[in-house]
Amino acid sequence: MGEKKFRSDQLWRSLYHDVSNSFEEMSTLSKPFRKSLREKYSISTLKEVMALTSSDRTTSKSLYRLCDGELIETVMMRYESDGHRRNRKTACISTQAGCALGCTFCATGQQGFRRNLTVGEIVAQVIEMQRVAIAEDLDQIDGGQRTKGEVQGVTNVVFMGMGEPLANYKNTISAIRVLNDGQGLNIGARHITVSTVGLIPEILKLADEDLQINLAISLHAPDNATRSQTMPVNKRYPVEELINACHKYAAKTKRRIFFEYVLLKEQNDSIEQAQKLGRLLNGLHCHVNLIPVNPTRDGPFERTDLIVAKSFQGGLKQYGIPSTVRMEKGIDINAGCGQLRERAIEILDN
């Protein structure tokens, strides 16, 4: 555009640090440059078409329409300090419109795959949540003293929304580098988590990226027979091969791996399955998150109750596997992946 090189740094900071809504807000740029940008470009490709907040105010979910009409979801989860960690605001973001992997307990998997999101569409979700988080922080500051040091904003990002992040590998990695950039959103790599159903080639590739992010594996069963019933990808990448890849990843990165285990009533939640999972993960630097399922309209599974979940956790403890029964967020607003889109489609169709 014929501008001096330092203008790109100013523009970058305005977009990713100041999270400007418009080019007119970018006061560090000259008026002619702002005018030229406004005529040629737009800042965000997202248009919010629905937003819900849980009754306890800790979880909010937005449904965004993209420029081609596709709908994606983004969730903000708010956690108070628990004595070990400070207050956190976690953005859960999508990487695809739909998903091709067809996990039977997932609302997104029941909707099919349409396309990958661009880097801009992925990052824009965090920027939208950052604007919300900053506004909340400013509202909570006593006496109207709005100092930069008191504004926390989004602290964590999890790639656990619609789609399989590692199936959109290049754009996911590029988005992570933007989010992590010190002159932008500056979200620490160790506060970024990428979830995958277990695409082994991409897991091994990720180990070579030199990113200190967290890897979360959607496991959901300790054996091939059970896992294949709910996760078709297991037929391509069986459990034993997946766990072997996890050992390689942990050895190379020196990072603990998180395993997501959605508890499905009378499907994968028995004490015997817990013990089998303990044996499977024995010797691997890991942590298991136990998640009672968010039931979906067309899904065949019911939630495991807390007593059974605690029993399952006890089975893991026998093998020294650390675990947490995940704090439930947003049940009353269909916060599970894909559920708000499903609800919106119903409304639009009627």
Active site residues: 73, 337
Per DSSP (E only), the strands in the chain are 47-53, 59-65, 71-79, 88-92, 96-98, 113-116, 156-159, 192-196, 214-218, 257-263, 286-292, 323-325
Other C-beta atoms closer than 10 Å to the C-beta of 20 total: 19
User: Token digits for 305?
Assistant: 């109750």
Quote the DSSP letter at residue 104.
Answer: T
User: Token digits for 149?
Assistant: 């040091």
The Cα–Cα gap between 326 and 291 comes to 5
Other C-beta atoms closer than 10 Å to the C-beta of 212 total: 14
Which residues are within 8 A (CB) of 286 and not within 5 positions of it... i.e. 6 or more apart? 246, 250, 256, 257, 258, 259, 321, 322
The Cα–Cα gap between 175 and 263 comes to 31
Strands 113-116 and 214-218: unpaired
- Phi and psi at 193, nearest 5°, equal -125, 130
The Cα–Cα gap between 315 and 33 comes to 63
- CA dist list (Å): 95 to 45, 72, 223, 252: 14, 9, 28, 26
DSSP string computed for 210-262: ----EEEEE---SSHHHHHHH-GGGGTS-HHHHHHHHHHHHHHH--PEEEEEE
Strands 59-65 and 47-53: antiparallel
Q: Rg of the Cα trace of the chain? A: 21
